[in-house]
Structure 1
Amino acid sequence: MQAVVLAAGEGTRMRPLTANTLKPMLPVADRPLVAHTADGAVEAGAEELIFVVGYEADAVRSYFGDSYRGVPVRFAVQAEQRGTADAVAAARDHLDGPFAVLNGDNLYDHAGLAALFDAAPSVAAYRVGDPSNYGVLSTDGDTVTGVVEKPSDPPTELANAGAYVFPAEAREWLDVDPSERGEREITDVLARVVDERSVTAVEVDRWLDVGRPWELLAANEWKLGEQERRIDGEVRGDADLRGTVVVESGAVVEPGVVVEGPALIRSGATVGPNAYVRGATLLGENVHVGHGVEVKNSVVMADSNVPHVSYVGDSLLGEDVNFGAGTQVANLRHDGEKVRQTVKGDRVPTGRRKYGVVAGDGVRTAINTSLNPGVVLSAGATTTPGESVTRDR
C-alpha cells in the first residue's frame, strides 16, 4: 500500500518557530516531526511513501531522499495551499491502488496505524472527553456512518484523528467543492467513501495534532519518554546522569552536571560544568548549556546557547538563540490559572499550568533579562539589560 504524507503546510499557528522551518520538520526527539509519521507508516506496511510538499520543500526532499528505511520515496508538489483534499490530489498521478493519507504534523501510536492499514478502508478515531472541538465520527458499531465538524451535540466521543486508508477508486473522488472556509477538505472525500463503501473506525490509543508551540512540547515529552538510555558521547568527572538519558556521539557533559531523564543531548552539544537538566528536555545539535544553568522540560534547538546562570523552564527556543547571562524564564502564574499565549493574534489558553516562553530563531536576550510566562519573542528579537519582558516582542 502507498502512504501519502501531507507536509506542505506553512504552520502559521506555530510561529515564530516556523519563520524559517517547515512545521513538519521541527524537531521531536532525534528526528523531525514528519519522520515519526513516516516511521509509523513504514512499520504499518507502507510499500511507498509519497510526500506532498510546498513551503520549504527542499528540507523534506533533503531529509528523506529517494528512500526511507528501505521504502521508496516520491514527492508531489502542492503549489498553493488549498486544503487537504487538494494536497492529496497533488499526489494523484503517483497513486495506484488503495492508499493511506497521514498528516505529517500528527503523531500516532504505531500499533494503531498498523491496525488502520489492516482494516482498510478505514479512518483513525481517538476518544476524547469533549469532542465538540473536533471532527466527530458517527458510527454503527465499528462502521463509520458519517462525520460531523465541531458539533454542539456530538454523536460519539470519537474524534477524527486525521489518518485514512482509502480504496483505489477514491483517487477519482478528490475534486471536492471548497468548504465554507474556502478549502477542499479530505473529510468530504471520506464522506464519499462512507457512502460508497463500508469504512471501519479504528480507535488509536494515542494521537497528537501538533499545531501550536505547546503541542510541540507535548510531542517531545511523548517521544523522549519512549527512548532507551544510551551514552555514546563524553561524560566527564562526577557528572550524574539519571534515568532515561541519551548522550549522542560528539556531545560532551562536563563535571558537576546533573541530568534527570528523559533527556536527549544531541551531537555537538556541550552541557556544564555545574548545570542541571531535567524533565523531558531536548538539547539540539551544537547547543551549549553552561555553568549554573537549569533547563527543565524544554526544547532548545540547534546552535542555541544558554551559557551563564539562567533558568529555562517549559519553553521552546528556536535555532541560534542566545540567552544573556542571568536570563530567567518565569513559567508559572501565581494566580493558579493556565498560561495563555498569542496565536495568530488571539490570546488563547495553552492548557498548561507551567509554560515558559517561545523564542524564534536568532533571538538575543541581554544580561539579567526576565521573561514572563507565555511571552513570544519573534525571530531576531532582542532585549535590553535588566529588562522585564511581559508582552510579546
Structure 2
Amino acid sequence: MQAIVLAAGKGTRLRPLTDDKPKGMVEIAGQPILTHCFDQLVDLGATEFVVVVGYRKEQIIEYYGDEYEGVPITYCHQRTQSGLAHALLTAREQIDDDFMLMLGDNLFDANLQDVVRRQQEDRADAAFLVEEVPWEEASRYGVCETNKYGEITDVVEKPEDPPSNLVMTGFYTFTPAIFHACHLVQPSNRDEYELSEAVDLLIQSGRTIDAIQLDGWRMDIGYPEDRDAAEQRLSKEESDTSATPTD
C-alpha cells in the first residue's frame, strides 16, 4: 500500500524550533520527526512514500533523497498551506489504489497495523485510528462521533464545544474516493480546506468509515513542549529497553 505523508506546514506553533527548518525536520531522540514516521510506515509495508512538502521543502528533499530504506519517495509541492484536504489533493496523481495517510508531525507506538488490516481485509471505504483524550484537549483535533457498530458518523474540526472526546489521531487509510470528496470541500471559517469536511462528505454519500481505538500511545508534536515530552518518552523507553536483562 502506498503511503502519503503530509509535511508541508510551517509549524508556526513550534517556533522557534521551526524558524529555520520545516516541522518534519525537528529532531526527537536524535532523528527528525519524519524519520520516525517513515520507520513506522516501512514496518507497515509501505511500497512508496508520497511526501507532500512546502515550507523549506529543500531540506527534506536533500536529507532523504529519492528513497528511504529501499522504499521510493515521490515529492509533491503544496504551494500554499491551505488545509489537509488541499494537501491531500496535491498527491492525487501519484496514487493508484487504497493508501495510508500519516500526518508528518505525529509519533506513534500503537496498533497501526489494525487500521491497515481493516482496510485490506474488510475493504472499508476508510479506517481511522482514534483516541479518547481529555475533554479540555478535544478542541485541538478533529472530533468524531460513532455509532454502536464503531463506524464514524460525524467529524467536526477543532470545535469550540466538542460533541465528544474521541479524536482523529493522524493515521488513516482511504480508498481513492476521498479525492473526489476533497474536490467538493469549501473553505472553512479558518479559510482552509478541511479533511474533516471531506470525511463528512464521504459519510453523507453512504461510505463506511471504521474507527479503530488506539492501543498504545501517540503524540502530536504541535508545540515545543510536545517535542520535549516526546523526547522524554522515547529516551525513557530506550533506557528501559537497554536495562532489560537478556537470556
- Alignment TM-score, normalising by the size of structure 2: 0.86
Q: Where does residue 376 of structure 1 map in the other structure?
A: none
Would you tell me which structure has more strand in proportion to its own residues? 1
User: CA separation of 1:155/1:43 partners in 2, compared to 1, >3 Å: closer, same or farther?
Assistant: same
Is residue 157–residue 194 contact of structure 2 (8 Å, CA) maintained in 1? no
- 1:243, CA displacement in angstroms? 5.5
The 1-side partners of 2:20 and 2:64 are apart by 19
TM-score, L = length of structure 1: 0.55
The SS at the match of 1:114 is helix
Q: Relative to 1, partners in 2 of residues 1:19 and 1:145: Cα closer, same or farther, differing over 3 Å?
A: same
Matched, 1:129 2:134: yes
Residue among 184, 196, 211 paired with 1:187: 196
**Structure 1 unmatched ranges of 5 or more:** 231-241, 245-393
Preserved contact between residue 219 and residue 230 of structure 2 (Cα < 8 Å): yes
Q: Give, in whole Å, the separation in 1 of the partners of 2:18 and 2:70.
A: 29
Q: Contact 2:138–2:166 (CA<8 Å) still a contact in 1?
A: no
Higher helix share: 2
Please say if 1:168 is aligned against 2:176: yes
In the alignment, what sits opposite 1:40?
A: 40
CA displacement at 1:184 relative to structure 2: 0.6
C-alpha distance in 2 between matches for 1:212 and 1:132: 16
Query: Matched residue pairs, number?
Result: 232
1:15-26 equivalences under 5 Å are 15-26=15-26
What is the percent sequence identity of the aligned residues? Answer: 37
- Counterpart of 1:226 in structure 2 is 237
SS in structure 2 of the partner of residue 107 of structure 1: strand
Structure 2 gap ranges (5+): 120-125
Tell me if the contact between 2:106 and 2:219 (Cα under 8 Å) persists in the aligned partners: yes
SS in structure 2 opposite 1:119? helix
Is 2:216 aligned against 1:216? no
Distance 1:197 1:115, change over 3 A: same
Q: CA deviation at 1:152?
A: 5.9
Which structure has the larger Rg?
1
Aligned-pair CA distance for 1:193: 2.5
- Indicate whether 1:119 and 2:126 are aligned: no
Find the aligned partners of 1:43 and 1:215 in 2 and give their Cα distance: 24
Cα distance between partner residues in 2 of 1:105 and 1:139 = 25
Alignment check: 8 A CA contact 1:128 1:157 kept:
yes
What is the root-mean-square deviation of aligned Cα atoms in Å? 2.1
Match of 1:104 in 2: 104
Once residues 4 and 11 of structure 2 are traced to their aligned partners in structure 1, the CA distance between those partners, rounded to angstroms, is: 19
Residue number in structure 2 paired with 1:177: 186
Higher RCO structure, 1 or 2 (CA under 8 Å, sep 6+):
2
Distance 2:176 2:21 in 1: 34
Distance in 2, Cα, partners of 1:97 & 1:24: 26
Q: How does 1:238-249 map to 2 (within 5 A)?
A: none
Asked if the contact 1:41/1:113 (under 8 Å) is kept, the reply is no
Equivalent residue letter for 1:137: C
- Where 2:186 maps in the other structure, the secondary structure is coil
